[in-house]
């Protein structure tokens, strides 16, 4: 069964059945103010930080699923319905939800009334606009009752869900004209409040949840809506809400817009009050006035559309396959922006209170985002680097609001530093802006410890070589990229976190082959950077270290048919034919083949053949095999997941591209592309019922072959899968790869392809690239011409800003 389809012209996914296999969500807002919105209008908004500045209450994993959102109720005679079907779930005559680029349109129709709501956050605005269009589609006059509804969260989403002895006393609101203000805790340390307005006179309101919903009712049947009569309740403690009541009359064919604004305001300390106890509403009123007519809202919406036109114009593919084009041109790029904005903080699988911005995650997210808005990437990578420790180790996470490292999690994940080299070099390769290397960047957010960004990179590089184990391979610390391979944890207590427990780490010998491969790969980028900067001594020193690592990998990291994964605390092999379970892993085989380690000796080919034989499945490549079937205390969380799930032999989509890229290094374009299409959302659209999560974005994990339901996905949206698949397809399969000295063209495509076209905006100029494949090869550029003139090699040098060039690439 299919629940919707792509509309590429509008860059939308159109959902036609509201009862999707899981809520299918979208994100509104792209800087500062954000909302999550499901296809039935569930979700919430927040300012910058989903934990500390949560505007609306949302109950995760609730019964029913996805309860809480911005709801509009229509009471038409005895019938009560919502444009998005939920929460009343009254059957609609028509339903449609269109998720677009940072906006969502939800339309319901019943008994001759159509209600369409456009939800979006205008650019540079701290508010969500909800434009409701009510139309009488019948032949008779219609008179009905209209209620809005949203429940306020008491700002800190964590304490909001636990500290009820306090929370039930603190709630405060004000109502003035048609605006409901939520001002809990504003009387003391908060300088912010929220508001919910509508651009018409109202016929009543409610601000107290118990009054509106009824203590023993649910959102499905709020008592005020059933009664068709607001109570004009004022919340004092308990649970404040905001509901407007409007009586609507429409002649046949008549339509009317109601514009609701759900916003957030901050005031200066000395400007908080209008009079004693009355909040200063000036800023809120300004925003409300900015969006109080349909025309104004339409202009703001067009600006948002234009913003996305610009972003998505940087890389445009014409491949002849709609699925690939929509993947590359629209949805994958969109998901990359979302992961850049949120890292792993707020989705329908990430509660917004557990994790802020990840160090490794955010650096990797940059890879898929940097071409969209290099200036934002620049600021981000500086923020990230500012949380690094002076010895090169890194806070594993930081809070977006404070930009400070998170002490609860701390550091000790030894892959983290290398990802900073990825973040910074990706930025320079895209932008050509080397000044970032001279920026003074703090350590541990302490300005007095600032050093240049270049030094941060050197210190990152050195962190790996300062932490080598007995096999001359990198010590893993708490974990490398695989957070669940906890080789220094040895946890027996279910109340401990695998990520932060380090019972036995002192003197640990556990080493990671993944960090080893990562070090070689990004170490080479670091060397290249040093050379471009004429730091030749440093380049020579670094080269020696990289060569030594390559040797250590070949000597101590090769298992005969693939690369080992790690050495454990006791020096035993992990990911070896000698093991009974977990004989082979994806990560080390990805990174070592990406770095072509031992390619001359045939190691890469062998390793990737082994991956194909042992890890490849119909739905993607599993992380390890055989899956662990019991808890191995010396390995940690990986062995806690039932076989086939998550890091224990799930198809962890984040690392599939590492194998794709490894395959392109070998020149095996058919295999690389086959792996790509197995997990790319647009290619598996027809298994939506099994797949379950949104068919337009990647999920972190698809259940592996050992799972109960192979092919079922979980944890959609916020995953490094987005950036890595974007990199795999655009930079390695299509082979259009930003480099320090220009744009490298090195495709590795399926042999049956005749070619493809890409329009690429790069460093201020435009390249119309046409790749031709007359001999049906996968890899190997025979000739490149720019505006008819042949160039040497396959690097397009830096060209003139503002110009457009025709580039013909012939393979074979
Ligand atoms: C998950 C990992 C995640 C880690 C840290 C684990 O339970 O399986 O994917 O990175 O927690 O939050
Ligand atoms: C999700 C985490 O966000 C990421 O940091 C980690 O690398 C992967 N899970 C793999 O465990």
Q: Whose CA is nearest to atom 7 of ligand 2?
A: 481
What number does the ligand 2 atom closest to the CA of 481 have? 7
HEC profile of 400-450: CCCCCECCCCCCCECCHHHHHHHHHHHHHHHHCCHHHHHCEEEECCEEEEE
Contact, 59 vs 68, CB < 8 A?
yes
Contact, 488 vs 569, CB < 8 A?
yes
Strands 357-358 and 255-266: unpaired
DSSP state of 628: P
Q: Whose CA is nearest to atom 7 of ligand 1?
A: 484
pLDDT digits (tens, 9 = 90+) for 167-202: 999 999 999 999 999 999 999 999 999 999 999 999
The residue among 556, 655, 557, 567 whose CA lies nearest residue 611 is 655
Q: Whose CA is nearest to atom 5 of ligand 2?
A: 361
Q: What is the pLDDT of residue 409?
A: 87
CA of 482 to the centre of ligand 2 (A): 6
Residues near 345 by beta carbon (within 8 Å), at least 6 away in sequence: 49, 50, 51, 352, 355, 356, 357, 400, 718
Which of 349, 397, 499 has the most ligand 1 atoms within 8 A of CB, as the residue to mutate?
499
For CA atoms 597, 603, 607, 609, the dihedral sign is positive
Residue 792's φ and ψ, nearest 5 degrees, are: -80, 135
Ligand minimally distant from the alpha carbon of residue 361: 2
Strands 765-772 and 804-811: parallel
The residue among 492, 521, 513 whose CA lies nearest residue 557 is 513
Spans of the chain, pLDDT less than 70: 503-507
Q: Whose CA is nearest to atom 10 of ligand 1?
A: 483
Which of 478, 483, 721 has the most ligand 1 atoms within 8 A of CB, as the residue to mutate?
483
Question: Reduced to 3 states, what is the DSSP secondary structure of residue 132?
Answer: strand
Q: The tokens of 302 are what? A: 């067009």
Euclidean distance between CA atoms 752 and 308, whole angstroms: 33
CA of 156 to the centre of ligand 2 (A): 25
- Reported as type and span, the H/E element at residue 168 is helix 164-170
What number does the ligand 1 atom closest to the CA of 715 have? 9
Q: Is residue 87 reached through a cis peptide bond, with omega within 30 degrees of 0 on the bond before it?
A: yes
Ligand 2 cavity residues, CB under 6 Å: 344, 358, 360-361, 481-484, 647
CA of 184 to the centre of ligand 1 (A): 34
What number does the ligand 2 atom closest to the CA of 360 have? 5
CA of 589 to the centre of ligand 1 (A): 21
Torsional class of 757: left (φ above 0), alpha (ψ -120 to 50), beta (otherwise): beta
Q: Whose CA is nearest to atom 10 of ligand 2?
A: 482
Contact, 632 vs 572, CB < 8 A?
no
Ligand minimally distant from the alpha carbon of residue 653: 2
Euclidean distance between CA atoms 641 and 647, whole angstroms: 7
Euclidean distance between CA atoms 398 and 389, whole angstroms: 13
Ligand minimally distant from the alpha carbon of residue 416: 2
CA of 26 to the centre of ligand 2 (A): 22
Contact, 327 vs 340, CB < 8 A?
no
What number does the ligand 2 atom closest to the CA of 647 have? 11
Residue 686 catalytic? no
Strand partners, 279: 273
**For 709, what's the count of Cα atoms within 13 Å in the CB-facing half-sphere?**
9
Which of 622, 700, 720 has the most ligand 2 atoms within 8 A of CB, as the residue to mutate?
720
Q: Whose CA is nearest to atom 2 of ligand 1?
A: 483
Ligand minimally distant from the alpha carbon of residue 646: 1
Euclidean distance between CA atoms 661 and 657, whole angstroms: 6
Residues near 286 by beta carbon (within 8 Å), at least 6 away in sequence: none
Euclidean distance between CA atoms 653 and 339, whole angstroms: 14
Euclidean distance between CA atoms 416 and 480, whole angstroms: 8
For residues 293, 295, 301 and 303, what is the CA-based torsion angle, rounded to 10 degrees? -120
Q: Is 703 exposed, middle or buried (0-12, 13-18, 19+ CB in 10 A)?
A: buried
Q: Whose CA is nearest to atom 3 of ligand 1?
A: 483
What number does the ligand 1 atom closest to the CA of 647 have? 8
CA of 483 to the centre of ligand 2 (A): 6
Q: What is the pLDDT of residue 506?
A: 64
CA of 493 to the centre of ligand 1 (A): 18
What number does the ligand 1 atom closest to the CA of 355 have? 12
Ligand 1 cavity residues, CB under 6 Å: 483-484, 499, 637, 646-647
Ligand minimally distant from the alpha carbon of residue 497: 1
Q: What is the pLDDT of residue 354?
A: 81
Lookup result for tokens 């999560």:
693
What number does the ligand 2 atom closest to the CA of 484 have? 11
CA of 610 to the centre of ligand 1 (A): 27
Q: Which of 49, 67, 416, 483 is catalytic?
A: 483
CA of 580 to the centre of ligand 2 (A): 25
């Amino acid at each position: 069964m299919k629940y919707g389809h792509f509309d590429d012209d509008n860059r939308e996914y159109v959902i036609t059945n509201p009862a999707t296999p899981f809520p299918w969500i979208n994100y509104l807002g792209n800087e500062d103010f954000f909302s999550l919105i499901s296809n039935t209008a569930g979700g919430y908004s927040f300012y910058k930080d989903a934990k500390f500045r949560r505007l609306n209450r949302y109950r995760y994993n609730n019964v029913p699923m996805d309860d809480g959102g911005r709801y509009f109720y229509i009471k038409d005679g005895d019938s009560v319905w919502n444009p998005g079907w939920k929460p009343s779930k009254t059957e609609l005559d028509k339903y449609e939800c269109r998720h677009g680029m940072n906006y969502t349109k939800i339309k319901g129709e019943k008994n001759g009334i159509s209600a369409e709501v456009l939800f979006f956050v205008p650019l540079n605005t701290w508010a969500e606009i909800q434009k409701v269009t009510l139309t009488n589609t019948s032949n008779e006059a219609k008179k009905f009752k209209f209620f809005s509804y949203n429940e306020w969260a008491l700002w800190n989403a964590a304490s909001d869900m636990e500290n009820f002895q306090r929370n039930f006393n603190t709630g405060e609101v004000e109502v003035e004209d048609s605006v409901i203000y939520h001002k809990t805790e504003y009387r003391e340390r908060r300088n912010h409040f929220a508001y919910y307005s509508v651009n018409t006179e109202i016929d009543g309101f409610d601000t107290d949840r118990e009054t509106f919903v009824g203590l023993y009712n649910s959102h499905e049947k709020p008592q005020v809506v059933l009664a068709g009569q607001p109570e004009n309740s004022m919340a004092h403690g308990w649970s404040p809400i905001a509901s407007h009541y409007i009586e609507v009359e429409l002649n046949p064919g008549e339509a009317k817009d109601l514009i609701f604004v759900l916003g957030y305001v901050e005031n200066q300390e000395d400007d908080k009050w209008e009079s004693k106890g009355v909040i200063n509403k000036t800023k809120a009123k300004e925003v409300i006035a900015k969006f109080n007519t349909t025309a104004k809202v339409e202009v703001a919406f067009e600006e948002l559309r234009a913003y996305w036109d610009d972003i998505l114009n940087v890389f445009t593919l014409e491949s002849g396959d709609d699925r690939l084009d929509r993947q590359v041109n629209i949805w994958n790029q969109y998901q990359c922006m979302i992961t850049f904005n949120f890292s792993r903080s707020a989705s329908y699988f990430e509660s917004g209170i557990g994790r802020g911005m990840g160090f490794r995650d955010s650096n990797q997210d940059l890879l898929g985002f940097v071409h969209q808005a290099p200036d934002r990437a620049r600021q981000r990578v500086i923020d990230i680097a500012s949380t690094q420790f002076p010895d090169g180790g890194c806070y594993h996470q930081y809070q977006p609001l404070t930009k400070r490292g998170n002490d609860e999690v701390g550091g000790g994940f030894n892959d983290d530093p290398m990802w900073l080299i990825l973040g910074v070099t990706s930025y320079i390769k895209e932008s050509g802006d080397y000044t970032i290397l001279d920026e003074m960047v703090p350590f541990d957010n302490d300005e007095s410890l600032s050093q240049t960004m270049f030094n941060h990179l050197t210190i990152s590089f050195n962190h790996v070589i300062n932490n080598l184990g007995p096999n001359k391979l990198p010590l893993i610390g708490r974990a490398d990229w695989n957070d669940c391979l906890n080789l220094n944890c040895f946890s027996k207590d279910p109340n401990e976190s695998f990520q932060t427990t380090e019972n036995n780490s002192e003197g640990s010998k556990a080493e990671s082959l993944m960090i080893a491969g990562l070090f070689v790969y990004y170490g080479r980028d670091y060397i290249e950077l040093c050379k471009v900067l004429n730091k030749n001594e440093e380049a020579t020193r670094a080269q020696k270290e990289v060569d030594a690592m390559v040797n250590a990998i070949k000597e101590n990291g090769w298992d005969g048919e693939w690369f080992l994964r790690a050495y454990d605390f006791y020096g035993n092999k992990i990911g070896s034919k000698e093991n009974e379970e977990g004989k082979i892993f994806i990560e080390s085989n990805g990174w070592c083949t990406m770095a072509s380690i031992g390619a001359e000796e045939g190691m890469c080919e062998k390793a990737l053949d082994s991956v194909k034989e042992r890890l490849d499945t119909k739905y993607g490549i599993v992380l390890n095999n055989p899956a662990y079937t019991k808890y191995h205390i010396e390995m940690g969380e990986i062995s806690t997941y039932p076989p086939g799930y998550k890091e224990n032999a799930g198809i962890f989509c984040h690392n599939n591209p590492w194998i794709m890229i490894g395959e392109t290094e070998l020149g095996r374009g058919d295999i690389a592309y086959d792996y790509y299409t197995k997990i790319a959302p647009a290619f598996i659209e027809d298994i939506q019922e099994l797949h379950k999560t949104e068919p337009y974005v990647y999920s972190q994990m698809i259940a592996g072959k050992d799972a109960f339901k192979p092919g079922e996905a979980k944890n959609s949206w916020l995953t490094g899968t987005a950036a890595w698949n974007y990199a795999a397809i655009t930079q390695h399969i299509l082979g259009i790869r930003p480099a320090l000295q220009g744009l490298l063209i090195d495709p590795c495509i399926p042999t049956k392809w005749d070619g493809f076209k890409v329009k690429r905006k790069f460093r201020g100029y435009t390249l119309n690239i046409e790749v031709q494949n007359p001999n049906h090869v996968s890899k190997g550029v025979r000739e490149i011409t720019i505006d008819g003139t042949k160039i040497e090699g396959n690097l397009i040098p830096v060209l003139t800003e503002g110009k457009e060039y025709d580039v013909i690439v012939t393979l074979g």
